[in-house]
Structure 1
Amino acid sequence: MSGGAVARQALSTRHFPLRIIPRMFKNPLSHHAWLFWVAAWLVLGAGLGLRDPWPADEPRFALVAKQMVESGQWLFPHRGVELYSDKPPLFMWTEAVSYLITGNWRVAFLLPSLLAALGTLWCVVDLGRRLWTPRVGYYAGWALLTTLHFAYQAKKAQIDPSVVFWITFANYGLLRHLLTGPAWRWWALGWFAAGIGVITKGVGAIALLMLLPLALAALLRPLQARLAPDGFGARALAWVRMPVRVGIANPRFWLGPLAFVVAVSLWLAPMVLVATQSGDPSYQAYLNDILFRQTAGRYAKSWDHPQPVWYHLGVMFSMWLPLMLALPWALRAWGRRLGRADARYLLPLAWWALVIVFFSIPSGKRDVYILPALPMACLMFAPLLPGILRRAWPRRIALGFTVALVAAMLTVGLSMWFGDPKFEARLIAERGFTDHGRALAAGVTAIGAWGAACLLWSGRRRPVRAMLATLCGVWVCYGLLITPVLNDSSSARGVMTRAAQRIGADVELGLVAWKEQNLLMSQPGTVNFGFRMGWQKQLELGLAWQARAPDARVLFVQAPAVPDCVDRGKAEMIGRSNRREWWLVPYAARTGCPASPPLPRNEDDHEYD
């Protein structure tokens, strides 16, 4: 047999792996899968490695992770010279491990959010596939990927994308058991994911609210049985007939709570043991703060971000676009399915409502608090979207939304390029752009041009496709074109680089009234005097530190904290960053500063960004 014949025979065998590839591309769902996951990687990953951490939270977590790597102290995280007890350390661990793998902080600090967002998408897509059809799963995935709130947060290095993943994964495990099971391994894994969510951010336990409707159904079932079959009370309690695959009498039920305790103990047990046995009062203070003040205390008596009780409704109707544009048509459909006691809708919808109620009780509210509810909301819309999007008015609304978004981008970008709007002048002053904002204007205009191209391509015939393509392009262009332009002024890299060049490598820098991004971007050997303490105390310690080596030490001070005893003619305004002005104060600029000079204008502030 000739060599060519042998090769043809090898290629013709049904076991040859390459024959699988053409079949994959003949399947429309495979096309859809490839398109979706490539789009997800582009939307969420565009800009990775092109910027540094930005306030308010990103520099804080990156700084804590960096100090973990440098000091080897992973159990008790530090911010500067102080212990950092605002959040559990799991998210900072993931950033530190990402750095150990990649060796690049610009990649490492965003990598956990990217992977968490992709994991959340997988949970939603696979759950939609299992509860309905693969097509419904991808409808849920596209709905989540293109919702403004999800994409915006997924491209930030905050804790919230990670906690959203763990909560969604916990919901996934619980629903795999409750709706497609019994699947006791997924039941335990769901509880375990909820526990990991707790040591990521304390609210991770809200995933277990999914069990509350089941518990209520079990309690009301005897009452429903006693009512007349055709009575109003029986019809009102018809939903309690939904199947319940859990019961405390089943020994396997307790695998879930046990898995939850194990997950929480991975961090809590060694931390409590070391804190109680060390005899160090700072560790005891850390323990009390993170276990009580930052969890139950913060929920019961919020001390920041006060908002009215309806605040989260406003967040959903503004930041959950374009998903919420389909709400008027979804409400009636949900009502019919709940009337049939369809547990696929009842459990996620009840959980969504419980999450809103839970976060509406405290006075302190932020938009990210209800972000964990968004994946389940997308899952609830997904089975209805094929029917909704065949209607005329939803298609018109999708087209109008896209046209409005594109028009806004083009108007802003072109007015910045050709005109001189007031907001542009203010932006240039705050950001210190040397090109008069032309690069930023070009990026915004490019986003508008992409959207216009999508509308021309398929706007009237396929308005939903044009909307999805426009939104994906917005986030890709944002990551590749906008964030690099804003990086120096948003991350403090620019001002800290200028400060290092100005003082040289042989002079020490001491930070007063600093922000996390300043220490994160500073040169090695930079000194800080604490963060939580007031500016007055930092200034006292900084002046005393500088006086011990006047020629080799310079203070880096935020403008409001520069005391009146400093001669600003001998000091140097080194730049603006994060809407703040920063000064270098050499010893020669001090004109008889006392040990405790008063701050000018009585400003002693250390608020977060």
Structure 2
Amino acid sequence: MTLAWFVTLGTRALITPDEGRYASIALEMARSGDWVTPRLNGLLYFEKPPLQYWIGAIFFKLLGASEFAARLWPALSGLLTVLAVGFTGRRLWGPAAGLRALAVAASTTWIVANAHFLTLDAGLTLFLTLSMCALLLAEWGSGNAATRRSWIWAAWVAMALAVLSKGLVGIVIPGGTLLLVSLWRRDFGLWRRMHWLSGVVIFLAIAAPWFVLASLRNPDFAEFFFIHEHFARYLTQVHHREGAWWYYLPLLVGGLMPWTGALPWLWQRRTAKSPHARLTASDVLIAWALFVLVFFSASGSKLPSYILPMFPALALLIAHRLGTTRVAALRWHLALPVAAWLVVLVVSTRMASFATASTPSEVLAPMAWGMRIGALAFMVAGGLAWYWLGRNRTTAAVLALALGQLVGALSVLQAHNGFGQLKSAAPIAAVLRPLIAPDTPIFSVQSYDQTLPFYLGRSIVLVDYVDEFALGQRVEPDRSIPTIDAFLARWQALPQAAAYLGHDTWQILRDRGVPMRVVFEDARRVMVLRR
């Protein structure tokens, strides 16, 4: 499984926006040696904390700038999340439950997908999962008082690292879950056992120094990071990522595959009347998953990966319930993922119908083959799972199903590379690099590909483009060009230059008689040189 988990990381081009953005920041940090102030394309960038940039920069220094090094931390985060879930399941409910938890987590579609693309959410989910698992092991891991205290301290450490990964959500999710489960079960014992004084000291010792240093070096940091990037992002639609209240429900259904059919099993009616049975590990897991879902559903800014932290909790719950669910019900459970992969198989035969002017059919053909291979792999695994269930070997069936889903998902991800090339500057850089000198100015006019600085290994001058660069351009206005006319004046004066353009901008400049020679063009963008 470990080999399969990592084998595709370096075989796909980085795509815009997230992969290019976070790879470029880490690469710039590695080259500049400034570990306090993140920069994106040479401009100040304070939307997120630096932990993933630090780790990415270290990997670039050790392994060189590559797609593999860029994606290594999300992949490691996903694998460590899976191992944490398996370890916790084993400690709470025994070896069989631990193995099932490992298999369920390793094959949950949304965990696999987010571990194989470069975003911040896999790292955040790792540390949130560690904090959740540490709390579960402290309360229900059968340790003595010293062991319990150590697990609670580990939870505080993990929360601090979650904050350094993506901000205040690193404490909001654990804190919100604690409040929710306490109100729901009317049991506030967890609050009294959190070792608040020593825990807060540990938390601040890890999380606070960077925030203090960043504020001292950059006067605009605190207001932008805490107000604009947290409160405004959550409470308003300033980032234009709104969605309906049910936005995450289809993502939950699809992202939990092939275990979506287990959702009805997760809620079990209580029969015990003992006060000691009032609060269980399952209660915490249910509260965790519900809080994540509701919290992000209420947000004014929504992205698909935001709910990733709920899936490890669901994997633990599913693994626990699998041990008590009848074989007949488990066999019926196979129907939903088999039907889903059959749909994938049918869609793969109709991929040409999805072609557009900006997405030609030739880039969709490899995806169709990847979908077919994935569907075949899962069908074989589904047959094996049916066979093992018929012999009451639930764990063997779970392992077969998990392996089939993992192979199928990775096949589809690998086949995405043809389409991904349309959202990557890798082919542009390959053409442009031999044609320019190291000091040739490169402009990005009215558009921007986040992967371009990474693949060219240098910053690009933005022209009439703001988006997430507003703060950086306000603080350092000389690093960009505000208007097309100012750009043209500079372009005309240069002996050699290159420019990245969208088709509409290219057409406008061509009609104005701007001297330029096309060196790269595809369905979505154009790269030109000063004649």
Offset at residue 373 of structure 1 (A): 1.6
Separation in 2, partners of 1:209, 1:162: 20
Q: Is the Cα–Cα contact under 8 Å of residues 74 and 123 in structure 2 kept in the other structure?
A: yes
**Counterpart code for 2:358:** E
Change (3 A) 1:99 1:372: same
Structure-2 separation of matches of 1:363 and 1:415:
36
In structure 1, the partner of 2:210 is: 267
1:377 maps onto 2:323 in alignment = no
Shift of 1:363: 2.8
Within 1, Cα distance between the matches of 2:280 and 2:338?
A: 38
Paired position in structure 2 for 1:443: 370
- The answer on whether the counterparts of 2:443 and 2:460 sit within 8 Å (CA) in structure 1 is yes
Q: Secondary structure at the match of 2:161?
A: helix
Mark the CA change 1:523 to 1:207 in structure 2 (over 3 Å): closer, same or farther: closer
Query: CA 1:584–1:191 in 2, change beyond 3 Å: closer, same or farther?
Result: same
Residues 50, 79 of structure 1: alpha-carbon distance in 2 compared, 3 angstrom cutoff: same
Corresponding residue number in structure 2 for 1:246: 192
Show the counterpart of 1:603: none
Give per-residue Cα distances to partners, 1:119-172, cap 9 Å, x unaligned: 111221111112111211222222222211111111111000000001111112
Deviation at 1:396, TM superposition (A): 2.6
Amino acid at match of 2:221: Y
Determine helix, strand or coil for the equivalent of 2:266.
Answer: helix
Note the C-alpha offset of 1:508. 3.7
Match of 1:200 among 146, 152, 165: 165
Can you give the 5+ residue segments of structure 1 that lack an aligned partner in the other structure?
A: 1-38, 218-238, 276-283, 589-609
- The one of 183, 198, 213 equivalent to 1:255 is 198
In the TM superposition, residue 383 of structure 1 has moved relative to its aligned partner by 1.6
Identify if the C-alpha distance between structure 1 residues 449 and 382 changes in structure 2 by more than 3 Å, giving closer, same or farther: closer
| 3-state SS, counterpart of residue 110 of structure 2 | helix
1:468 alignment counterpart: 402
Counterpart residue number, 2:20: 59
Q: Does 1:350 align with 2:287?
A: yes
Q: Please give the alpha-carbon distance, in whole angstroms, between the structure 1 residues aligned to 2:74 and 2:341.
A: 28
The reply to whether residue 522 of structure 1 matches residue 456 of structure 2 is yes
Alignment match, 1:77 = 38
Alpha carbon RMSD of aligned pairs, Å?
3.2
Do structure 1's residue 557 and structure 2's residue 501 form an aligned pair?
yes
Q: Secondary structure at the match of 1:557?
A: strand
Q: Residue 131 of structure 2 aligns with which residue?
A: 170
AA of the residue aligned to 2:174: A
Task: Give SS of 1:109's match.
Answer: helix
Asked if the contact 2:48/2:225 (under 8 Å) is kept, the reply is yes
C-alpha change, 1:50 and 1:334, in structure 2 (3 Å) is farther
Q: Deviations over 1:166-191 (max 9, x none)?
A: 11111122222233343212212211
Give the match's secondary structure for 1:430: coil
With structure 1 as the length reference, what TM-score do the two structures score? 0.74
Instruction: Give the direction of change, closer, same or farther, for the CA distance of 1:315–1:414 in structure 2 (3 Å limit).
Output: closer
Match of 1:490 among 416, 423, 442: 423
Q: 1:240 to 1:405 in 2, by over 3 A?
A: closer
2:109 paired residue number: 148
Percent identity, please.
23
Distance 1:318 1:164 in 2: 18
Is the 1:334–1:345 Cα contact (8 Å) retained in structure 2? no
Change (3 A) 1:500 1:337: farther
- Gap change, CA 1:322 and 1:336, over 3 Å in 2: farther
Shift of 1:298: 1.6
Q: Distance in 2 between matches of 1:129 and 1:175?
A: 12
User: In the aligned structure 1, how far is the partner of 2:56 from the partner of 2:311?
Assistant: 24
Contact kept in structure 2, 1:171 and 1:190, CA below 8 Å: yes
Local SS of the residue matching 1:110? helix
| 8 Å Cα contact 1:573-1:581 kept in structure 2 | no
For the structure 1 residues 443 and 240, does the alpha-carbon distance in structure 2 shift closer, same or farther, using more than 3 Å as the test?
closer
Letter in 2 for 1:489: L
CA-CA distance at 1:66 after TM superposition = 1.2
The letter of the residue matching 1:381 is I
Unaligned runs of 5+ in 2: 390-396, 474-479
With over 3 angstroms needed to count, the CA separation of the structure-2 counterparts of 1:447 and 1:538, relative to structure 1, is farther
Counterpart code for 1:327: L
Return the match for 1:543 from 463, 467, 488.
488
Q: Structure 2 residue aligned with 1:430, among 358, 366, 369?
A: 358
Partner of 1:235: none
Q: What SS does the corresponding residue of 1:566 show, helix, strand or coil?
A: helix
Equivalent positions of 1:355-366 (< 5 A) are 355-366=292-303
Show the 5 A alignment for 1:10-29: none
- Pick aligned residue for 2:60 from 89, 99, 112: 99
Match of 2:525 in 1: 581
Q: Could you tell me which amino acid in structure 2 is paired with residue 468 of structure 1?
A: A
More deviation, 531-540/557-566: 531-540
Q: Which amino acid aligns with 1:443?
A: G
Measured against aligned partners, the alpha-carbon deviations of 1:508-567 in whole angstroms (never above 9, x if no partner) come to: 432222221122223657544575369982534432332332x32233322233473534
Q: Secondary structure at the match of 1:85?
A: coil
Structure 1 residue 89 corresponds to structure 2 residue 50: yes
| SS, match of residue 456 in structure 2 | coil
Whole-Å Cα distance in 2 between the matches of residues 50 and 372 of structure 1?
Answer: 27
The residue that corresponds to 2:152 in the other structure is 187
Could you say if the C-alpha distance between residues 363 and 406 of structure 1 is closer, same or farther in structure 2, counting changes exceeding 3 Å? closer
Larger radius of gyration: 1
**TM-aligned CA distance change 1:374 to 1:455, over 3 Å:** closer
Relative contact order: is structure 1 or structure 2 higher (C-alpha 8 Å, sep ≥ 6)?
2
